């Protein structure tokens, strides 16, 4: 089973940049790295996906080093509404969720 490791929780203040790093040492050559966001009482929501180097969309950036054994989700200038749990995942066969990182944004 795919195993990921990320910090259990992080705190930030509005307007700051938040970086959440996830390790995935057993990632295979064909696997993409995908991050999800989950608010209370909702299902997870896709944020961003990447294979290598850097990917950016309107919500976040994803940095993946050359060895692909880790990835960093970057949220620029967070707001209170970014308070959520963030999961990194990888696996082309099954989608396995790790513990996730609970981000709390303070005013």
Partner 1 sequence: SAVISQKPSRDICQRGTSLTIQCQVDSQVTMMFWYRQQPGQSLTLIATANQGSEATYESGFVIDKFPISRPNLTFSTLTVSNMSPEDSSIYLCSVEDLSLAGGSTDTQYFGPGTRLTVL
Dihedral in degrees, nearest 10, Cα atoms 29, 51, 74, 58: -160
The residue (of 79 and 92) whose beta carbon lies closer to partner 1 is 92
Return the closest-CA partner of residue 30 out of 89, 92, 72.
92
* Whole-angstrom distance, CA of residue 47 vs CA of residue 106: 21
What are the residues binding partner 1 (CB under 8 A)?
A: 30-32, 34, 41-46, 49, 51, 87, 89-100
SS3 5: strand
We find the least distance from the C-beta atom of residue 4 to partner 1, in angstroms, to be 10
The residue (of 70 and 89) whose beta carbon lies closer to partner 1 is 89
We find the least distance from the C-beta atom of residue 62 to partner 1, in angstroms, to be 12
We find the least distance from the C-beta atom of residue 49 to partner 1, in angstroms, to be 5
SS3 81: helix
The residue (of 55 and 72) whose beta carbon lies closer to partner 1 is 55
């Amino acid at each position: 089973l795919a195993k990921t490791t990320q910090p259990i929780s992080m705190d930030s203040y509005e307007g700051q940049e938040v970086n959440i790093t996830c390790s995935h040492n057993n990632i295979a050559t064909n696997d993409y790295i995908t991050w999800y966001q989950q608010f209370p009482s909702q299902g997870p929501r896709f944020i961003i996906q990447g294979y290598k180097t850097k990917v950016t969309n309107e919500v976040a950036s994803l940095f993946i080093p050359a060895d692909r054994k880790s990835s960093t989700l970057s949220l620029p200038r967070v707001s209170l509404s970014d308070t959520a749990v963030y999961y990194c995942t990888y696996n082309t066969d099954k989608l396995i969720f790790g513990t996730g990182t609970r981000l709390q944004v303070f005013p």
